[in-house]
Every structure is written in structure tokens, then in C-alpha cells.
Structure 1
């Protein structure tokens, strides 16, 4: 395994690789299980219909294993979807220049990889319905932690696990795609900040890991994508505006159909992809960025699984099994 991956693994929540349960519980089911207490009283964030409501809260975990089981299941699901999306890319022999749907698959591969990587570092962007959120509010009332807040809004939330205190902090987001990319961009910032002082290893290896993350960060925040959602912007333009010669008659196309159709490049290490901006080949650049992200996810998962004595059955029977089937 590359030195960069070994360095970056040190900042992961290693508990995600150590769960032994075969439970299929995800983060929604975990919230509904009420295996937690309110870490702090609820705080009003707005008033609706004359009633105080909130869209932020913090939980103190009672059963840490159940939390990481849920995280592992979500991570495994997204990782499988990322690789399957990439693997399903094939060159159309009748329309060899076609790149429209290939671009969509590349985008979703990177989007799912972002979700999986977030969970490796104790974060989750998830949709919670009323029945999930109500469990938290019911518990706040029972334990006198509601602070006269009448309800918690359901919706799309970012959660973050504190490694030390095992508290989980939730804050509501708005857009499932744009805010997921922003959350991933913020994770990269945190890793770049922590890497020099919170990891051990040779200085040159730390520098390589730092450069990898810094280059990925730069690739995601190109001009007009300051929230880190450049892949989403490209997908939207190609999917809805039919730009960049991706669709017949391929006017202005500059991508290499053979390159973007290679569906197993992600098995290479993430530093092998040229993700610098190439304005004349947006589709080719997106292909490299997507493969880089899936590669980062893949090698973090494989290394985390290999170095753990009691390997997680969730990954062993899920993501690792899928990869071994595709790349025996």
C-alpha cells in the first residue's frame, strides 16, 4: 500500500473497520433506535407558526458499536455504488464519441465515493424523515432537554462524530448534492490542517499525502465552484444543456473516447491521475477527478480492512467481495 494511503488512514475512524455484527442497520435506523441521550439541550433556530423549532442538535452515544455498524453499512453501500457506477462505463461501438451518459456515471461514481470517504472520517450526509427525527425530540422531552423547543425539522443533515467524546453533532443542510460536495470540501480542509501534526511518518510521505489532498481540493473548487461542487456543475451542464460535445453530433468535442471508457483505472493509486484543470477537455478532466476519488476511497477501504485483525464482515461480504469479483 502507498505511503500516502497509510498516512491518510491514520485520521480515519478505525472503529468502522472493526465492527463484527452482520446487522443491516444504517444511520436512519440508528437514529430511530434511541441508543443515545441528548448531549446538550435543544436550542431554537427559528419560529414556525408561533412554535420554536430547531435544525441542530447533539447526541451522546450510549452504544458506540451500534453507531459504527450503521456508519459501516452506509459506507459499504456507497462504496459499492461508486465502483459499480464506474465499472458500468463502456464505449458504445455504434456511437464511439458518445460521452453524455458516461459523464453522468463518472459523476455519480465520484459523488458516491465522496459519501463513502466522509463516513470513513466519521461524517455522514443523510436524509432523515419525520419518524427518525421525532425519536430525538421524544427523548429530549423525556429527559427534560427539549428547552421548550416543540419540534426538530426533518430533512438532509450533516452529522459528525467526535472521536474523543463520542458525541454526534447534527446540522441541517439544504441541497443533497451541493451540500454534500461542500461537506467533502470542508473535510479535505480539516485533513489538510490535521495531517502535519496528527499523523506519524516520514516527512516526505506526509508531504505526498498533503499534496494529494491539496490537488484534489483544488480540482473541486475550480473557478465558480468555491463550495467544491465542480463535478456537479459539469454534470448539470452536460446532462441538461448538452454541452462539451458529449452528445451527437459531438460539436466541439475534445475528449478521448477510449480514455474515458477505461472503467478500471481507479485500481491505480490516486496520485496517478492528472486532475489539474484542462479547460479544453472538461470531460477528460472529470474522468480523471472521478477516478482519483474512487481510487482514494478504494485504497483507504482496502488498507483499513487489511490492517484490522478482526475484519469487518460488512466490508468483507460487501465491498471487498465486489472488488474481488471485478478484479480477481
Structure 2
């Protein structure tokens, strides 16, 4: 097993280690409007516009996290499967690179959920429910809080979460997500260094994650992957559309990089990947998808649910 999974295991949402089968919730945000029982407690911090929700128990909150993580991981793995073949073929190279991005985007969403945080679209219906409960409790929420992308972070007891609006420096939801993800990776690397694994292993994981961050921060902010994907998908840039300027040998480098997605991410040469910018782009996407897979495997292996662990379902897509 990967030392990366060893390093991140203490950060896992505990309820995921007992979650069986397919979780009931389709999206994490549904617990706001469809929570079981009478409701939940709410607190609002006017200084920071942060909303704190507490359900006083962790089981169904874990189920909601698990459902989201399973859905995103499944999307990541199914998108990456067979990608090496597409990157080797000039006629499918461009869409292969777009697929690589979305695999990483989905894997990032899955990974932060496994470790206790989400980046979730909150609609007006969710906010109206929150505001109605808050008013009933005499804790009104500021009317300036509006629908959009929110960061939701589980509290220490994992019975509730704190939510705040996510805003990137530029761009839309994808750019905002990568800003959130970069901050999250920065936090967990510090946790890794303070963790219980051997110092040499902790430093190795720290350096891998830091190298990943350096790729994603090649441009302003932390959304370089999204920038490259936009250039390829919408501007037909980077010379990857037919007739592609990438030679067969260069495509072969990208293909071999993508073929590593089921390997231990700690074995990947993410510090100096071959292939220039496009090579670094594919390496970062491959690394993140592989890291998500390793952490999900750790959940499945440590689960008291055994073969019925929720984590087994998306992992089947890796076979």
C-alpha cells in the first residue's frame, strides 16, 4: 500500500470506515433540505458570513459524504480508464487531454470529501431552508449570503459542518474549486508532517504534494490545469487538435504517463515530468487520480463492511 495513504489515513471521515453499500444521498447539499428527524442546529458568524450546521449525530452525514465521494471517484476513474490509448492517437489526443482534466477535477472533489471537506453548489432552495430554520431559532442569517459554490468543512466531532462561500481570484466554479483545493492540500501537507508515520515517509509525501501544487500554480492562482483545459477545449490551442503538432514519440510520452494512473502515486516522477507543459499537465492529472484511488482503496481495506464497503463500487471501475 502507498505511504501516501498511510499519511492521509488519520484525516479520513470516520463514518466512511463503516459505510455499507450505496449511500442514500445523491448530493451532499441534499442533507440541508432532506435531513432526517426534526431538523438541525444553526449558528451564523456575521463577521465572516460562515454558517455552522450541527445535526448532533454523524451517521447520515457520513453517508452523504460517502455518496458524494463515490459519485465523483466513479466519474474520475471511468473518465481515465483507457486514456493512455487516446493520448497515443493523434485523432483522439485533444479530447483525451480534456478527459484527463475532468478526471483530475472529479478526483479532487472525491479526495477532499474523503478527508472531511466538500466544495458544493448550494442553491436558493438550500439557503431558504437554512434561513427559515435560523429565523425560527432566533439566529438569522445575513441576507447577503447568496446561492453559489460553498466550502463545507466537517466539525471535529463530524456531526455537522461549517460552510462559507468559495470565490476564486478569477473565473468561475472550476477556478474557485482549484483555489479551494490548493488551500486544502497546503493544510494537509502540514498535517502530514505532524503525523504519526516515519519522518522520512512524511517528508516524501509532503514533497510529492508540494510538487503537485507547483504544477497547478504555474499561472496566477492555482487553476493552471483549468487554464490549459480551456485553451485546448475552447481556443483549440496547444497544437493538439488535428493536424496535431505533437509527434508520435511525444504522444507516446503522454500515453505512458497516463498509463501510471493505477500505480502508487509516490512512484511517479512528478518533479520533472517529460513532455513540457502538456507533459506536466498529464502528470498532474494522473497523479491526482492515482492519489484518489489509493486513498479510496485504504478506506475499502480498513472498512468494517468488508466487501460491502461503499468504496468498493467506484473501485470496480479501475479493473
Structure-2-length-normalised TM-score: 0.87
The CA distance in 2 between the partners of 1:104 and 1:93, in whole Å, is 10
Partner of 2:14: 14
- Structure 1 residues 208 and 94: CA distance shift in structure 2, 3 A: closer
Partner of 2:33: 32
2:70 to 76, 83, 91: 76
Partner of 1:187: 184
The CA distance in 1 between the partners of 2:224 and 2:61, in whole Å, is 32
Q: How far has the Cα of 1:108 moved from its partner? A: 0.3
Q: How far has the Cα of 1:87 moved from its partner? A: 0.9
Partner of 2:166: 173
Matched, 1:2 2:2: yes
Q: How far has the Cα of 1:254 moved from its partner? A: 8.7
The CA distance in 1 between the partners of 2:238 and 2:271, in whole Å, is 18
Partner of 2:293: 298
Counterparts of 1:91-240 in structure 2 under 5 Å?
Answer: 91=85, 96=90, 98-146=92-140, 149-150=142-143, 152-164=145-157, 166-174=159-167, 175-197=172-194, 199-222=195-218, 224-225=219-220, 227-240=221-234
Q: How far has the Cα of 1:39 moved from its partner? A: 4.2
Cα RMSD after superposing both structures: 2.7
- Structure 1 residues 304 and 201: CA distance shift in structure 2, 3 A: same
Q: Which moved more, 1:95-104 or 1:282-291?
A: 95-104
Partner of 1:48: none
Q: How far has the Cα of 1:284 moved from its partner? A: 2.0
Gapped runs of 5+ residues in structure 1?
Answer: 46-54
8 Å CA contact 1:137–1:151 kept in 2: the answer is: no
How many residues end up aligned between the 2 structures?
Answer: 310
Gapped runs of 5+ residues in structure 2?
Answer: none
Q: How far has the Cα of 1:212 moved from its partner? A: 1.6
Q: How far has the Cα of 1:42 moved from its partner? A: 5.6
- Structure 1 residues 157 and 229: CA distance shift in structure 2, 3 A: same
2:267 to 241, 266, 272: 272
The CA distance in 1 between the partners of 2:150 and 2:113, in whole Å, is 13
The CA distance in 2 between the partners of 1:85 and 1:298, in whole Å, is 13
- Structure 1 residues 163 and 249: CA distance shift in structure 2, 3 A: same
Secondary structure of 1:63's aligned partner: coil
